[in-house]
Each structure stands twice: as structure tokens, then as C-alpha cells.
A and B are shown apart, each in its own frame.
Chain A
Amino acid sequence: MLRLIANSLLRRRWQSLATILGVALGAGLLLAVFLLYHGFEQGLERGRQRLGADLLVVPGNATVDPDRALFAGSPLSVYMDKKYADEARKIPGVRRVEAQFFTQSLKLECCSVGTESRLIGIEDKVTQRLAGMSANGREKLEPDEVIIGSELLGDVSKPGSLIELLGYIFRLGYRLEPTGTALDYSILMPIDSARDLAAKSDALKPVWQDAGDPHDLISALLIEVDDPSRIKEIGRKLEDLGPLKVIRAADTFQRLKRLMNAFVFVLAAAGVLTAIGGVVYLLGHFSSVAWDRKGEWALYRALGATKPRMVQLVVGESVALALGGAVIGLPLGYGLYRLAFTQLSAQNSFPFVAPGVALLVAGAAGALLLYGFIGFLSAAAPALRVAQLEPALTMAQGDID
């Protein structure tokens, strides 16, 4: 039977090729949509985990996009006095305050990372929280140790490896898991080490002349509250501390989530329509095949093919075309996804985490199963019609091409 199916498909090679390509485009789009959806979902979740805060406090003169600051880890190159951290800790209802210090953007000479890398100083509490997000994470860093983002210095992975930053030697603590944000292109170090480095930088001297000694400055505060219902109230108290801008994570998260839901809806609709399109396309193809090839089917019936065998032959062709298309479509879909991923990574404007191999395999297997089922579904009705063909038709027909 397999030989008959293969021969039939090869005999109509252009027709088969067109069908396979049609299915391939659909399957590819579906896989790309699936991977992007999961990438966004994971990215948002990872962003939320990484943030671990209800409020983000930045200097009042900072022109910052809350989405980028909260979920994409966008750097803040403005500074405020570090006293605000201590004052924030005194506000009733504040559970945790973490300060960050943005040193400067770096251009790495060794690698093409598609974007600039950032040097950020973090407190020990941040180090501890980040440690929980990485398999080999450590809860404390030595002054000369750094954590590097997943997309940086790909050839340096062994803890203890030496890295030169702005003329100074540091040791690699560990590498972060991908987050799909600017954090993937960031170098993190103890906040005091970052301030020292910034203070020694000739390029940044004009900045410190305006802003003051970097050892007394911070770029942002991440604040967690005891009672989420008091976020607004605490936010107002923080604004009262001085010229500060307070961004509520929950609001931003909800807005981003709504945006993502809308985006995912469009992607999912595209995927579903593609799958339906595949069914309609194959159904049309096999409806026409049932009619065009009735002479051949009738001959098979006359020579002893049972009705179930006829159904197997027709459905087998359809499933073979659908699976063939899906197999070709999967690499196309992966390529499309990689293209979108590269674009998104370069923008760093939306949280995105590249799905792992397991999800990729699951997506590919799911697409194969789905298209196998679509192939079956599309040919079922035509196959049943073919099975009902009168074998006597064969007595009245000419040669079969």
C-alpha cells in the first residue's frame, strides 16, 4: 500500500509539491507562532520574577519607559542620592528596598552581541534573588566578581575566568539564564565595585561633576511592600521623599499582560486560521482527487481492494502530503521564529525568553501530530466517497494515465 501511495504522489509530482508547500507554510507559521507565544509568556514571567518588586523608584528627571525599565531591564543613566534608599526603608509597610547603580554602556571588542552591554552595580539582596534564577547562581559576590548576561562573552563560561572591564580585571562568578531582556546583555557586579569603576572612568568624569560623587549615588530603587493593597499609598509617600518618579509594577504588568494577550490573540488567530486553511486546502484537493481519479480507484476496487483499503489509500495520501508539508515547514517555522527572535532581542523592548529544546521538540511533535490529523480529517469524507465507487465503472473506461 505504501508503494501505491508513494507512486501516486510521485506521479503527480508538481501537484504534490504545491500541496506540500502550501501545508509547509501553514505548519511553519504555526510553529513560529507557538514558539513566539511561549517565548513571550516565559519572558513576562521571568521579568516578573527578576523584578520581584512592587514599585520602581527612579530620579524625577529620568525619561524612562516603565515597560522597558521594569520588564526589559532598560538601564537608567541618571542618578539620585543614595539616602533615598535609607529613607524608603523607613516608610511603614515597605518590606524590601534594593538599590541599583548603572555604571555605563560598554562596547565589547571580542563579540558581536547585536547591542551594547551594560555595567550595573547591584546589592547583595539582588544577588541573592538572581541566584535563585540560575542553576549555578551564587548568593554573594566578591568585590572583583561579576555576573554576566546569557548573551555576553559566549566563550567565557567557566567560573573564575578572567574578564577585563574598562582596564580592570574581574573574575566570572557565573552566567545568568536567558531572560529575553537587556539583562541578557548586562554585566552585574557588587554596587560598590561598580561605583569605584565609575569613579575611575575618565569618560564619566563630567557626569560626576554634575551629579556628585558616584559613591553617594544610585540609579534606581526596587521596592517590595508587605500589603499589596497599600501600594498606592506607599507610592505617594515615596514621591513625597523628593524629586522621584514612582512606577507601579502591577499597573505596568497588567498593561503589558493585556498588550501581550492582544498580541498572542493575533498570533493564535493566525495559527488557527492557518490550520483551518490547511484543512480547507486539503479537503478541496482530495474532493477533486476523488472525482478526477475515479477510474483508478474503480480499478483498485475491481481488482479486489476492500472499502477500508480504499479509505486507507486516500487518507494515506493525504496524511503523507500533510506530514511531508509539516516536515518541510518545521525548519521554515524555526527560521521564522529565529528571525523574529533576533529582531526582538535587538529591540529589547519586550520580555522574551528563547524556548528550550524540550519546548521546541514538543512544538515540532505537536505540529506533526496536528497536521497528521488535519491530513486525516481532510481526506476522510472524500475517502468514504471513493470507497463507495461502483467497481463496474472500470469496465467502461479507457486507459489510466
Chain B
Amino acid sequence: MSAQPKILLEAENVSRSYGTETILDNVSLQVRAGEVTTIVGPSGSGKTTLLALLALLLEPSSGTIRVAGRDAGKLSDAERSHLRNTFYGFVFQTAQLIGSLSVLDNVLLPALLAGKAREKRVVARELLDRLGLSARADFLPHQLSLGQKRRVALARALLLRPAVILADEPTNDLDARRAAQVADFLLGLPADGYALVLVTHDTQLAERAGNRWHIHEGKLTPPVRVTAVPTIRHEKFVLQTTNNETQ
């Protein structure tokens, strides 16, 4: 029996409420190195909140988030900030590029905030080259297409070689071809050792990614295994819950 990949991120019985409204209810999840973790669910189901909790952008109302084995609840703001800077790479729903910064500087943003932009300049250029954007390094974001912006955001996420990439609806608003390009890139990351947490309602992307966790009204359902190939795809016909896929 082969060794399990290392657990990088773990949510244990995590809940999050706003007032009397419970957004996430007793959620548990593990994210391992070199694996994709896909979270699918309808709008308002709590998947972005779950991602924010995993990313240490929010604090849970109850339960524990562990980052590389450390209880995030016991970390100081400086430690949480440092983890967000170096342990995580973020790809948000929109590219969220700073309009006044060049493409290169946008990629360098995490390093600029950490005060080490100079030493990461070469890495930033390599990433832009890898994503086919080296000719656009000095452009401003408004001179880029939507797909190019998303790729800049991908480069920014990878700049400091984080352990975990968190992608929130990364193919949102992209046409099929651009979406496929972004998906190809993202889904290739686990092979390089990255853990990828993918939040999406794009069924095509979710199917390609595998290891799908379903979230509905704040409750998380573990991955399911497809046991039959349907001619008409609809979850109520094709999905049968198992607990094996993450093992």
C-alpha cells in the first residue's frame, strides 16, 4: 500500500455563521499535496465562504482549520498574513489586478508586499513566459483580454511557489476556449506538487478535476464516484456516493 500524500490543509467540524444565519455547518475536509480538491455547489451554498476559511481570510465560528498541522486559530495576525503570502496562491473569481501596476508588477505583488520583489523578478518573467504573456509584461491590465488577465492572476498565485493554490471559479466569464486553457494550466499544477483547491460551478471543469466535494446549504458531502456513464448527464441519475475517492 502506497504512502498517503501529506495533508497540507484540514478543516475539522468547521462552522461559520453570520448572526443567526449558518453559512457553513460542521464541515470537515482534508487537502493533500499533489491532489486536486474540487468543491462544487450552487450559488449561495457556502463554497466561497469555505474557501475563505481554508485561506485564512475568515475565521470560523467554531471548529478548527489546520495549516501544515498547525491550528490556525492559535496563529497571530502576522503568522496568518505570512501564510497567506507564502503558503497559499490565490486565484479569485475576478482577476483582481491593480490597474496602475504593469502586468509584471501585478505578478510581483505578493513579493512587493513581502519586500522581496527584486529577487522574484526572474521568477515572475518565467511564469509570464510559461503562460504566454511575456510580450505583455509591461502592459497595463486594461490593455489585456479577460483570459489574459486571468492568466496574470495565475502567475501571481504561483510567484512565491506556494504549497496550496486556491481557485475560486477560475473559469468564470471565460469563453470555452479560454476556460479550457485556464483549466489545463490549473489541473497540471498537482503534477508539480501543488495542492489545488478548486471551487466551481462549471460542471465540465469539475468533471475534469475529479475528487468532487458537494456543498449545499452549508453542508459538505464527500467525493462521489461515477458508477455509470449516462447519456444524459444529470447528477440524480449518475452519482452514487462513496467515501473512497480521497483515500
Give Cα A10–Cα B99 distance, bound, in whole angstroms: 11
Question: In chain A, residues 93-127, which have Cβ atoms closer than 8 Å to a Cβ of chain B?
Answer: none
Question: In chain A, residues 47-69, which have Cβ atoms closer than 8 Å to a Cβ of chain B?
Answer: none
Q: If A4-B112, A395-B93, A399-B94 touch, does A307 touch B99 (CB 8 Å cutoff)?
A: no
Q: Which of B1-9, B32-40, B84-92, B218-226 contacts A (4 or more CB under 8 A)?
A: B84-92
Question: In chain B, residues 58-104, which have Cβ atoms closer than 8 Å to a Cβ of chain A?
Answer: 58, 77-78, 81-86, 90, 92-101
Contact present for A400 and B98 (CB under 8 Å) = yes
Smallest CB gap from A301: residue in B: B81
Tell which of A3, A303, A401 touches B90, judged by Cβ atoms closer than 8 Å: A303
Shortest CB-to-CB span from A216 to chain B, Å, is 83
Tally B residues with Cβ within 8 Å of A. Answer: 37
Tell which of B94, B97, B117 touches A397, judged by Cβ atoms closer than 8 Å: B94
Give Cα A87–Cα B140 distance, bound, in whole angstroms: 90
Give Cα A305–Cα B81 distance, bound, in whole angstroms: 6
For the A-B complex, the count of residue pairs with Cβ-Cβ distances under 8 Å equals: 87
Tally A residues with Cβ within 8 Å of B. Answer: 29
Contact present for A7 and B101 (CB under 8 Å) = yes
Q: Which of A143-151, A170-178, A278-286, A386-394 contacts B (4 or more CB under 8 A)?
A: A386-394
Q: Is A306 an interface residue, CB under 8 A from the partner?
A: yes
Smallest CB gap from B88: residue in A: A304
Q: Is B113 an interface residue, CB under 8 A from the partner?
A: yes
Contact present for B81 and A395 (CB under 8 Å) = no
Contact present for A302 and B90 (CB under 8 Å) = yes
CB-CB under 8 A from B10, the residues of chain A are: none
CB-CB under 8 A from A4, the residues of chain B are: 112-113
Task: Mark contacts of B143-183 with chain A using CB atoms, 8 A cut-off: 1 yes-contact digit, 0 otherwise.
Answer: 00000010000001000000000001000000000000000
Q: Is B19 an interface residue, CB under 8 A from the partner?
A: no
Q: Is B205 an interface residue, CB under 8 A from the partner?
A: no
CB-CB under 8 A from A390, the residues of chain B are: 57-58
Give Cα A1–Cα B82 distance, bound, in whole angstroms: 16
CB-CB under 8 A from A395, the residues of chain B are: 48, 51-52, 57, 92-93, 168
A–B Cβ pairs within 8 angstroms, 28 of them? A1-B113, A1-B115, A3-B117, A4-B113, A7-B98, A7-B101, A11-B99, A299-B96, A301-B81, A302-B57, A303-B90, A303-B109, A303-B110, A304-B81, A304-B84, A304-B110, A306-B77, A306-B78, A306-B82, A309-B81, A392-B52, A392-B58, A394-B92, A395-B92, A395-B168, A399-B95, A399-B97, A400-B97
Closest 10 CB pairs of A and B: A304-B85, A11-B100, A392-B57, A306-B81, A304-B84, A392-B52, A392-B58, A305-B113, A7-B100, A391-B57
| Chain B residues near A (Cβ < 8 Å) | 48, 51-52, 55, 57-58, 77-78, 81-86, 90, 92-101, 105, 109-110, 112-115, 117, 141, 149, 156, 168
| Chain A residues near B (Cβ < 8 Å) | 1, 3-4, 7-8, 10-11, 296, 299-307, 309, 390-392, 394-401
